[in-house]
Amino acid sequence: MYSWDEDTSKWYGEKKYAYAPAAAPARAASAERAKAAGPRTYVKGAGPNEKIIDPKKTVRSESANPLIIVVDVTGSMASWPAEIFDRLPLLFNTLSQYRPDLEICFAAIGDASYDSWPLQVTTFASGFDLEQLLGSLHGEGGGGDAPESYGLFAHWVNTHVQVPNAQETPFLIVFGDVTMHKEIPAWQIEKVLGDNPQGDVDSLRSWQNLSRKWNTWFLRRPTGKTGDQVDVQWAEAIGKQKIFHIEDEQRAVDYAMGLVARSWGYFGNFQENMRARQDENKVRQVSKPLEMICPRCGAPIPTSAGGMFKCTYCGTTLKI
């Protein structure tokens, strides 16, 4: 497992990497807390910490750089929280050196028709506080049908999340692999979120509304086929260009970090980070698809582009 300190000497890659010094005091504080807490572990318990994950709460970040990371924890997807937990210090320490006020909110999605905890959400936090929050999530398994309650999560973001100081459209990254229920029954919203809706809510419309305020990406597990019913539905929900097919499931967090780093202008540093952990072939495998799209809108970038490139769709300027 990765640690909260600055020691990268045990990383497996051939290159060396050093974190930016500006955020060193914050990393040192997290490292001290981690040392006091003992070895890092991720143990799947009998259930979540309900005091932490209750979706009836409203969560608010005063940060200019909030980030939401969402994981489908049903069926085979239930191993992904452990993968993210393993790389949590790496994820936060890497991105927070680019923007020190980064705050992350985690969410776990299940199936509200079957699960006891179909939507689990944390508050926004930073540094070592993220350990307890992510460790409070629990994967149940979902139901017998393929669709899951992604729509319930989108409705929660639209009604229970406040990020008044976001300096630009903040990232919201979903790790998933299946379709969603087309409608969110009013009884689920009342039971899970504690709200009193006027009636059922359209899931796709909820995602469309969410995507106007969040830079939303669906990082799809390497199963299924491009253009299948999963792609079709998610394209209607967030736009075809915002569906990203992961090639290597073990590098899921790297794809997410790469998207954010590229958007923030630190893609080269991110690649150096990867080279200290992976061989060059793996760095190229992760980098190539990220270099072919705009990290803000997902539009393709011409292979002939070089130097500074301005996206003709959203106006984002990128260093190629």
Domain that residue 62 falls in:
21-319
- Residue 129, domain member (yes or no): yes
CATH of the domain at 293: 3.40.50.410
pLDDT at 83: 82
- Residue 233, domain member (yes or no): yes
Contacts of 190 (CB under 8 A, 6+ apart): 196, 197
Cα–Cα distance for residue pair 241/250, rounded to 1 Å = 23
Cα–Cα distance for residue pair 202/181, rounded to 1 Å = 9
Contacts of 143 (CB under 8 A, 6+ apart): 74, 111, 113, 114, 115
- Residue 148, domain member (yes or no): yes
Q: Counting every residue, how long is the chain? A: 320
- Residue 1, domain member (yes or no): no
- Residue 12, domain member (yes or no): no
pLDDT in tens, the chain (320 residues): 688 988 998 898 889 999 999 999 999 999 999 999 998 887 767 889 999 999 999 999 999 999 999 999 887 665 777 888 899 999 999 999 999 999 999 999 999 999 999 999 999 999 999 998 998 998 887 666 679 999 999 999 999 999 999 999 999 999 999 999 999 999 999 999 999 999 999 999 999 999 999 999 999 998 878 999 999 999 999 999 999 999 998 899 999 999 999 999 999 999 999 999 999 999 999 999 999 999 999 999 987 666 788 898 898 888 76
Domain count, the chain: 1
pLDDT at 320: 67
- Residue 25, domain member (yes or no): yes
CA proximity to 99, closest of 26, 178, 17 = 26
- What predicted TM-score, i.e. pTM, was given to this entire model? 0.95
pLDDT at 143: 61
- Residue 40, domain member (yes or no): yes
- Residue 212, domain member (yes or no): yes
Handedness of CA 157, 286, 273, 312 (dihedral sign): negative
